[in-house]
Each structure stands twice: as C-alpha cells, then as structure tokens.
Amino acid sequence: MRTIVSLPGDGIGKVVLEEAIRLLDAAGFEANYVHGDIGWEFWCKEGDPLPQRTIDLIAEHKVGLFGAITSKPKDDAFNELAPELKSKGLVYSSPIVGLRQHFGLDICLRPCRTYKGNPLNFIRRGAGDTIEEPEVDVAIFRQNTEGLYGGVEWSNPPAQVHEALMTHPKFKKNFGDCPVEELSISTRIFTKKATERILRAAFEHAKKYGYKSVTLCEKPNVIRETSGMMYKMAQQMQKADYPQIELWNTNIDAQMMWLTKNPETYGVLVAGNMFGDIVSDGFAGLIGGLGFACSAQINPETGIGVFEPTHGSAPKYADYDTSIVNPIAMFESACMMLDFIEEKEIASKIRKAIAKVIEDGKVRTYDMMKMSGRPDVVEKGAASTQQMTDAVIAAL
C-alpha cells in the first residue's frame, strides 16, 4: 500500500487536508497516511518550522499532501518564539520555500480549468452586448526554486558585494552615489539547468495532453539576461524537439492585461518564479479564485512531489466551530497527487464528482455564493466545508 506524508500545517490547512483524506478514502484510494510536523507551531516551539524528522519522512515516502502554513513578518517571528529559544539567533524562513529548495522541487504546475456552472467563472461582454463565458484550460509551469525567490538578498550589503556591484557600469551610474546602508538588493538568478528543466516540463506537458501552444511569459526585452536566456532556450527547444507545438512569447505585464480579453486562447504557460506566481494567480482568479487553485511541486528526477492548494492558512477562518472554507482547491491538489502516482482513474472519478456538484449548483460554499466569510454563512444557506465534502462523496 502507498504511504502518503500528510502535512496539514496551520489554520485551514488542517481542515481542508482532513477533508481531502476523507474524500480519497471514499473514492477508494488505499493508502497509509503518516503525519509530518510543519508550520508556525514548530517555529514557535522548536525554532524550526520544517523539522528534520519531516524532511526524513518525505525523503522516505516521496509523496506529500500539504495543507497550508502561516508565515509572519520578522519581528512577530521573533516575538512568538519560545523564551528559551530567543537568544539562539534563529531566523525564520518559510518551510514551503525550504521544502522546495531541499528537495529540488523545481517544477511547479498550476492548472486552471473552468468548471461548468461555477458562479465564480469569469464572464465578459462580447460583440453586440452579449455576455460570454470563456472556457479556460491552462497549465501554468512556474520555476519554483530560483529567480527572485532564490533568497540571495541583502540590506546594507557587505563590502565585497558592494565592490563587485560597482564594477557594473549601470550600478555605478544609477546607484553608485547611494549610501550602502540605504541599499536593499534582491537578486534574480536563473541557471541554465533549472531553466531547461521547467521549459522541458512545459513542452512535454503540452505534447502529452495535446495543447497546441506553449507561452513563455517573461519580459526579455527589458530583463535581458534572465528572461532573455529563457526565451532563447525556449526557441531552441521548440525548434529542435517540439516543432508541432507553437511557442508564443508574451510580456508579463501585457499578459495580465490580456488575461480577461482572451484567456481561452492560452494552453500551457511557462515562467520564472515570480512571474509564474503572478500569472497563475491571475488565471486562478478567472476560474473561481483561491477556493479552486491547486498546485503540484515536483522533482521529476527523484520522483518526489508535494501537492497543495495555492491558498494560505486563512487564520481568520481557522477557529470557526463550523468550517466554512472551500475544500475544492485541496481536493484538486489531491487529484494532482493521484495523477502523479498513476492513480488516474480515481483522480478522474473525483474530478467528475466535483464537476457534478458544481454544475448541480445546490451545494456551494460561501465564496461561491459571493458572501463575505462570516460564521453565519451556513445559516444563510452556504455549505460548510464538511457539507461540500459530503456532496462530492455522494456524487462519486
């Protein structure tokens, strides 16, 4: 039997993960779940939001199903540390970013697909005052370990760094007069290896699932070195290995503008870390937002994968007696996990059940009813998290 590492994390992560496991059981997926500690609680108690024992569990079992974690700013992180840990010079860093980097989970896939009948679907005005509801079906590949999220950054950079930067004529000209203690620098580093891997994953996905285009969504005309390298490599790869797939090149800013104009035109998109994050949130907004946005983080070489909804721990909803958040993003993430471990039939069964519940329209969480999230939404007719799970299970 399969062993899955369950990583509930904080806040609503705990709620939606439990519901996903209930659904997986009902759908006939047989697995052992071993619990992995992760999140804010372990930062406060142990000074480490990603304890080594959790890393060991993932290394052993390879597949993780993850809820969400809470991250707080630097000062709060320090203040909430257990008193005996305060003198140890510990610095908080996000356990998700830590997981990605530790296991080289550099391929992040975020699919966004329209569900028929979802009241949150994007609609737009067409010719002659008609209303159109374009069907979105995109797969966004986000490089997950480098770029602006690589963590190579300084405020008041050390002298060697400053000296090295001064050798660049543009730095000298534009920033050379700035006192070093007033400089904050975050680097955007791309390697050929990781760029090749994310591009390859995108093209392979397009080929496997019959998408006709791959869109590189960067800014090569301005960010010439990193985006420029990625574009050049994409062109070479397309020409050499994927002549049947079109390569489109859009700039991230323009892409966000076109998002609502013609989202149905796009198939696979690929981008660096930051722009991938942005464009995937943009597309997720067209198909229902955070209650629907799922993701996979994969290292294709080691076969390690962690699957999670895009949303965070939503602390304001975490302590409701009856949970009101939408578990579908978590369910979809569980389906991506099933695809990854070749349990495609169960994944497809669950997706069909979700589609049926949404199309029937009788059971809707508060976000789908456009309510603001308050404890009384269930009294007013919204489904609770558990009721949504029950409905999907009934539709299996």
Query: From the list Mg ion, ligand NAI, none, which binds 45 (C-beta under 5 to 8 Å, kind-based)?
Result: none
- The residue from 314, 346, 358, 395 that contacts ligand NAI (CB under 6 A) is 314
Cα(372)–Cα(324) distance, rounded to whole angstroms?
11
- The residue from 70, 114, 251, 299 that contacts ligand NAI (CB under 6 A) is 70
The full length of the chain comes to 396
- The residue from 71, 121, 238, 273 that contacts ligand NAI (CB under 6 A) is 71
Cα(198)–Cα(299) distance, rounded to whole angstroms?
10
The answer to whether residue 147 forms part of the interface with ligand NAI (CB under 6 A) is: no
Choose the binding region for ligand NAI from 67-75, 178-186, 238-246, 339-347 (rule: CB under 6 A).
67-75
Is 80 within 8 Å of 72 (Cβ atoms)? Answer: yes
The answer to whether residue 383 forms part of the interface with ligand NAI (CB under 6 A) is: no
Is 296 within 8 Å of 337 (Cβ atoms)? Answer: yes
The answer to whether residue 95 forms part of the interface with ligand NAI (CB under 6 A) is: no
Q: CB nearer to ligand NAI: give 326 or 389.
A: 326
The answer to whether residue 69 forms part of the interface with ligand NAI (CB under 6 A) is: yes
The answer to whether residue 20 forms part of the interface with ligand NAI (CB under 6 A) is: no
Choose the binding region for ligand NAI from 23-31, 253-261, 264-272, 313-321 (rule: CB under 6 A).
313-321
Residues numbered 271 to 310 that lie near ligand NAI (CB under 6 A) are 290-291, 308
| 266 contacts: CB under 8 Å, gap ≥ 6 | 138, 213, 215
The contact pattern for Mg ion, residues 258-287, with x = CB under 5 A and - = no contact, is -------------------x----------
The answer to whether residue 373 forms part of the interface with ligand NAI (CB under 6 A) is: yes
Question: Residue 370: left (phi > 0), alpha (psi -120 to 50), or beta?
Answer: left
Closest Cα partner for 216 from 254, 176, 247, 259?
247
Closest Cα partner for 90 from 79, 101, 99?
79
Rounded to 10°, the helix 344-360/385-394 angle is: 110
Query: From the list Mg ion, ligand NAI, none, which binds 326 (C-beta under 5 to 8 Å, kind-based)?
Result: ligand NAI
Choose the binding region for ligand NAI from 43-51, 147-155, 242-250, 321-329 (rule: CB under 6 A).
321-329
Neighbours of 165 (CB within 10 A): 17
Is 216 within 8 Å of 249 (Cβ atoms)? Answer: yes
Q: How far is the CB of 74 from ligand NAI (least distance, A)?
A: 13
Rounded to 10°, the helix 226-241/192-209 angle is: 40
| 392 contacts: CB under 8 Å, gap ≥ 6 | 23, 331, 350, 353, 354, 357
Cα(198)–Cα(249) distance, rounded to whole angstroms?
15
Q: CB nearer to ligand NAI: give 215 or 384.
A: 384
Three-state secondary structure call for residue 103: helix
Is 294 within 8 Å of 310 (Cβ atoms)? Answer: yes
The answer to whether residue 329 forms part of the interface with ligand NAI (CB under 6 A) is: yes
Q: How far is the CB of 90 from Mg ion (least distance, A)?
A: 25
Q: CB nearer to Mg ion: give 37 or 277.
A: 277
Q: How far is the CB of 371 from ligand NAI (least distance, A)?
A: 10
Torsion angle (degrees, nearest 10) of CA 374, 379, 380, 382? 80
Q: How far is the CB of 281 from Mg ion (least distance, A)?
A: 5
Residues that bind ligand NAI (CB under 6 A): 68-72, 96, 290-291, 308, 311-316, 325-326, 329, 367, 373
Residues that bind Mg ion (CB under 5 A): 277
